[in-house]
Structure 1
Amino acid sequence: MTTTLLHLSASPRGEASESLAIARTFIDAFRAANPAASVDEWDLWDGTLPTFGPDGAGAKMRVFAGEEPVGPEDTAWHRARLAFERFAAADLYLFSLPMWNAGIPFIAKQFIDVVSQPGMVFDFDPEIGYTGLLGSRRAAVVYTSAVFGEGRPPAFGSDFQRPYFEDWLNWAGITDVSSITFRPNLAVADAEPGRVAAHDAARRAGAEFGRPSMRRAS
């Protein structure tokens, strides 16, 4: 069976994107180490990600109640399922996530809201709570931020990016997670040493990502 890596990009900046450049280094190393593997690229800004508004929310509540969505709610549910099926078809995930306003880009939150459905990403039991359904997968995440960085004063921002996203991954059952960070203070610092270090880390992680012996790293 062919292993599939799905790269989900949340940056709209194209060639100017630091997170996307680091992700490409990761993918190049992954392909070199796993020539038989397949790589699927999903630009979350390409228009294929459905919205999940009133009809979707209504469908979700019907499913929770053991009912079948109908009409516009059924259409919204079908679109969410198609997005989830593309996501679930992969064995390995790579996310490239720039920091926006201390968190993740809204398109990445939209992706989470679309695919995080009962019977898809999770099950729920009133006695034991949530159970993630994606525990057989692994993920690598590229986190970038232009100003925020570990150890910098509060005036340089807060991190609701990595804690939020890794909490969602764990909630979905994905606990084997590697992270690559590039957090230069572009206002005052030379970004090149950190950029080189991030690409080196991506190269190592990409080369190791398809190996069964991989363990959680940060």
Structure 2
Amino acid sequence: MHKTEKSRLEISSRCTANFSLRCVINDFIKKIHLLIKSLLYYAVLKIKFGKDIKIKPINAIRGKLEIQLQKNRKLKMGVFLMTTGPCYIKIIENAKCSIGDKVFMNHNCSITCANEITIGDNCNLANNIVIVDHDHNIGDTGVVAGLNSKPIHIGNNVWIGANVTILKGVTIGDGAIVAAGAVVRQDIPNCEIWGGVPARKICKLGERYVN
């Protein structure tokens, strides 16, 4: 091999090695930063809410996560909750909310709980999702005091598309998919795809959908 060509190969090899090392170092620094942020967020929430919140020390909360807890309320968040923020969680007096392990929430998700809301493990929530387990009471002259609430249960491995609204009393089964823009007001069985306003069955997973 010619000396010049050999020299070029050696230089290229060193540059590649240096670049790879920089990538490894940068990736390590990012992971350390995320770990420190996770532990700090855990500490802040535990100091602020004490025993009313159960959260794992390891998570991936990015951006703004606003949590409001009223009296006698409970919030549980599983391991490695991932958010891109802003996200909003409000638990009204005497209500409880549980979010499972490895749940991802894209930006601008809103959860308002007056009764009970559960979200299972490994769920993916796209942007601009609203989950609300209650309505305001309506009288002869309009909105009156009090709420009409029913629990919402979302199973494991559920994918909820962008701009979806989930209303009170709904159960979404394991492995279900809710198409973007849907308004869900009735139960969705396991492993089915629903969409539309109001949401209706499109097909079952594994079936061919014909429009």
* TM-score when normalising by structure 1: 0.23
- Computing the radius of gyration from Cα coordinates, the structure with the larger value is 2
- Select the structure with the greater relative contact order (CA < 8 A; seq sep ≥ 6): 1
Bigger helix share:
1
* TM-score when normalising by structure 2: 0.24
Bigger strand share:
2
